[in-house]
Chains A and B, each alone.
Chain A
Amino acid sequence: MERLNQALYSAFEQDARVHLIGEDLLDPYGGAFKVSKGLSSAYPERVLTSPVSEAAISGVAGGMALRGLLPVVEIMFGDFSTLIADQVINSLTKFRAMYNGAVDVPVVIRAPMGGRRGYGPTHSQTLEKLFLGVPGLRVLAPNTLSDPGQLLLDAILRDPGPVFFVENKLLYLKEVLGQEALAEYQVEQNTPTDSYAATTRLQIQGAPKPTLTLVAYGYMAELAREAQQRLAFEHEIFCELVAPSQLAPFGADGALDPLLLASIQRTRHLLTIEEGSYSLGWGAEVAARAAQALGPALQAVQRVAAAEAPIPASVPLERANLPGVDDIVAAARKMV
């Protein structure tokens, strides 16, 4: 969370065009999840605490962006991103194309997603899959394996937009893993470009040749890392973990992430892991592209995702609904 908060400060400091719009942003509250804390005191003119009007604030940001500002929108709970769908799909992502490339729409919409806090059916969802595949929309989701602050800062200051920036609520409590924490891994990272964000690949140092690729984003990358450890030390199943921070679009030519592709080519087994509900999700698209890229060389694919039912508020029931480390371990053990 500090990284995201610092990134907002940096963006405000570096460029006077940056504005933040959202509900309950003013100090001392500083937004429902405190990512915006302090900003309204430091930049009172540029932090606009808004009415409870998600559709309008996303559209207002679009208008500001058309006319030269760099607005960031905070949606209080990602569940409410359903309310911004028309503005995102029929306005913000359309303008550049339908106005024949004459405009940019540099808007970043930040949305906290995810469950495991007992908030119940309409405050716990992982809904970004509804926005994947919208032409012209970049969907980013930070994880603990690369710098979330840099990801956000680049989205605000460098991206012609629009960007949907997915922040898992539990990641707010996690530290970004430094060199020390990652010392036991062989780490590979891509070089992010303006059109493709950071991806990290982890493999346990000194382990035998991995036979399975785990791919996960956001908080699920954290759970997948735990699963990777347990699979290695309890079951002698060795995995590569690939954690992209860009969910859409796929690479410039529509290809799979190069680190992911190389990993699947080595292991020939792919397990996709996401917190969204099972059907028609991100994992399905990754699996389809893996199958297209590898053909018969791809030996097995499975998916771990949330149940296809509203997320209960009761924590034991919620735990059963959402994918956890045990689910990843169980799915992996069936594959190799």
Chain B
Amino acid sequence: MSADYYRQMARIRRFEETVLEQFSSGLFYGTTHTYIGQEANAVGVLSHLAEGDIVFSNHRCHGHFIAYGGDLRALFAELMGKPSGVVGGIGGSQHIHWRDFYSNGVLGSTAPVATGAALAEKVQGSGKLAVIFLGDGALGEGVLYESLNIAALWQAPILFVLEDNRIAQTTPIELNLAGDIAARFAAFGIPVAELDSSDLTEIADAAAPLFGELRSGGGPQALVLHTARFGPHSKGDDTRDEAAVARLRAERDPLTIHAATLDEAERLGIEAEVADEVAAAFAQAQADPEHQP
């Protein structure tokens, strides 16, 4: 499993690097929000997902989608606005849906929708649960708190995953957020686990009991993951001190941390395979036909 987790994280990393490298070539439309540095969150949390469970994601959705099992070629093609994209090029980078995965780019707007989706599963007795990824920026949106209240009142089977990368676009968390993140969930009576780590194993272990609660019929759970965003918010808008970002990369790289569990040859082999896989997906998407409206 360890090697597989590494492969999934490497896939996300290489996908996002390719997006950033190729953006200036004009192949992609609109914008992107890369997940570089946060890969262990998506892979660790979603390692507990079962068939039919629901995932709601935000603007920074590529990592969640790939960890969910989404197709790299379809995601590249989506960014290229092509018919072969995840949603035919209509949604673009932030608005995709495949199987039980949904994303939307308006921060916090997904919270009530995901809560409703989880409630529908409960009403229909499917035994499925919902996982929603939110960033620290979404903590500024009021509808999130309305949703936490309803999720707790009506005992929706939903896991709120709050990825705190300490910066909302260009505004550091000190200028965005008063009070404590975990206490926000606790105030609604939602059990919350909190972790400051980029170690996939620690993240997966922290998520495990929350999934256990949900699968045994429990109400909403929350997981606060303090994390690090290595890249810009979207493309060229990183206003942070370069040395500080370099320090994050040196100290908190989830791939470097997880690589310690693998032997060198295995790691290099996975990286080479992933590089080929992503390059092939990119080339295929590039060759896919354009829309002819």
Which chain B positions have C-beta within 8 A of A94? 95, 104
Which residues of A36-74 are within 8 A (CB) of B?
48, 50-51, 53, 55-69, 71
The residue among A60, A71, A87 with the most chain B CB atoms within 10 A of its own CB is: A60
- Rounded to whole Å, the gap between the CB of A135 and the closest CB of chain B is 13
Which chain A positions have C-beta within 8 A of B143? 55-56, 59, 86-87
A69 to B142, CA, bound (A): 26
Does A98 make an interface contact (CB < 8 A)? yes
- Rounded to whole Å, the gap between the CB of B165 and the closest CB of chain A is 23
Which chain A positions have C-beta within 8 A of B109? 59, 86-87, 90-91
A53 to B95, CA, bound (A): 25
Interface contact A60-B142, CB-CB below 8 Å? no
Q: Which residue of the partner chain A has the closest CB to B56?
A: A63
Judged by DSSP, the binding face of B is helix
Which residues of A58-104 are within 8 A (CB) of B?
58-69, 71, 86-87, 90-91, 94-95, 97-100, 102-103
CB-CB contacts of A166-183 with B at 8 A, as 1s and 0s? 000000000000000000
Does B262 make an interface contact (CB < 8 A)? no
Q: Which residue of the partner chain A has the closest CB to B153?
A: A51
Which residues of B73-126 are within 8 A (CB) of A?
87-88, 90-91, 95-97, 102, 104, 106, 109-121, 123-124
Interface contact A55-B106, CB-CB below 8 Å? no
**In the complex with contacts A53-B146, A63-B117, A98-B112 CB distance below 8 A:** no
Interface contact A98-B117, CB-CB below 8 Å? no
Q: How many residues of B contact A (CB 8 A)?
A: 34
Does B149 make an interface contact (CB < 8 A)? yes
**In the complex with contacts A60-B150, A94-B95, A67-B121 CB distance below 8 A:** yes
Which chain B positions have C-beta within 8 A of A55? 112, 142-143, 146
A63 to B88, CA, bound (A): 22
Does A19 make an interface contact (CB < 8 A)? yes
Which chain B positions have C-beta within 8 A of A65? 116
- Rounded to whole Å, the gap between the CB of A270 and the closest CB of chain B is 36
A42 to B149, CA, bound (A): 26
A51 to B188, CA, bound (A): 13
**In the complex with contacts A63-B115, A64-B117, A86-B106, A56-B97 CB distance below 8 A:** no
**In the complex with contacts A87-B109, A103-B97, A48-B154 CB distance below 8 A:** yes
- Rounded to whole Å, the gap between the CB of B110 and the closest CB of chain A is 8
Q: How many residues of A contact B (CB 8 A)?
A: 33
Interface contact A64-B91, CB-CB below 8 Å? no
- Rounded to whole Å, the gap between the CB of B185 and the closest CB of chain A is 16
- Rounded to whole Å, the gap between the CB of A91 and the closest CB of chain B is 6
Q: Which residue of the partner chain A has the closest CB to B95?
A: A98
Interface contact A99-B116, CB-CB below 8 Å? no
The residue among B102, B106, B113, B153 with the most chain A CB atoms within 10 A of its own CB is: B113
Interface contact B154-A62, CB-CB below 8 Å? no
Contact of B112 among A63, A69, A102, A103 (CB under 8 A): A63
Interface contact A98-B87, CB-CB below 8 Å? yes
- Rounded to whole Å, the gap between the CB of B104 and the closest CB of chain A is 6
Contact of B118 among A58, A63, A99 (CB under 8 A): A63
Which chain B positions have C-beta within 8 A of A102? 87, 97
Q: Which residue of the partner chain B has the closest CB to A60?
A: B116
- Rounded to whole Å, the gap between the CB of A25 and the closest CB of chain B is 14
Does B228 make an interface contact (CB < 8 A)? no
The residue among B115, B119, B142 with the most chain A CB atoms within 10 A of its own CB is: B119
Which chain A positions have C-beta within 8 A of B117? 63-64, 66-67
Which residues of B154-187 are within 8 A (CB) of A?
154
Interface contact A60-B113, CB-CB below 8 Å? yes
A68 to B54, CA, bound (A): 13
Which chain A positions have C-beta within 8 A of B114? 63
Interface contact B123-A99, CB-CB below 8 Å? no
Interface contact B147-A56, CB-CB below 8 Å? yes
Interface contact A99-B91, CB-CB below 8 Å? yes
Which chain B positions have C-beta within 8 A of A62? 112-113, 116
Interface contact A57-B112, CB-CB below 8 Å? yes
A94 to B95, CA, bound (A): 10
CB-CB contacts of B122-153 with A at 8 A, as 1s and 0s? 01100000000000000000110011011001
Which chain B positions have C-beta within 8 A of A50? 150
Interface contact B87-A100, CB-CB below 8 Å? yes
CB-CB contacts of A258-287 with B at 8 A, as 1s and 0s? 000000000000000000000000000000
- Rounded to whole Å, the gap between the CB of B168 and the closest CB of chain A is 18
Interface contact A64-B116, CB-CB below 8 Å? yes
Contact of A99 among B102, B106, B111, B115 (CB under 8 A): B102
Q: Which residue of the partner chain B has the closest CB to A101?
A: B88
Interface contact B111-A59, CB-CB below 8 Å? yes
A53 to B147, CA, bound (A): 8
Q: Which residue of the partner chain B has the closest CB to A63?
A: B116
- Rounded to whole Å, the gap between the CB of A179 and the closest CB of chain B is 42
**Interface of A toward B, CB cutoff 8 Å:** 19, 48, 50-51, 53, 55-69, 71, 86-87, 90-91, 94-95, 97-100, 102-103
Contacts A64-B117, A66-B113, A100-B91 known; 16 new A-B pairs at CB < 8 A: A55-B143, A59-B113, A60-B115, A63-B113, A63-B118, A64-B116, A64-B120, A64-B123, A67-B54, A67-B121, A69-B120, A69-B124, A86-B143, A97-B90, A102-B97, A103-B97
7 CB contacts below 8 A, A to B, read A53-B146, A55-B143, A62-B113, A63-B117, A64-B116, A66-B116, A94-B95
- The list of the 7 closest CB pairs from A to B, nearest first, reads A63-B116, A59-B112, A56-B146, A60-B116, A67-B120, A63-B117, A99-B97
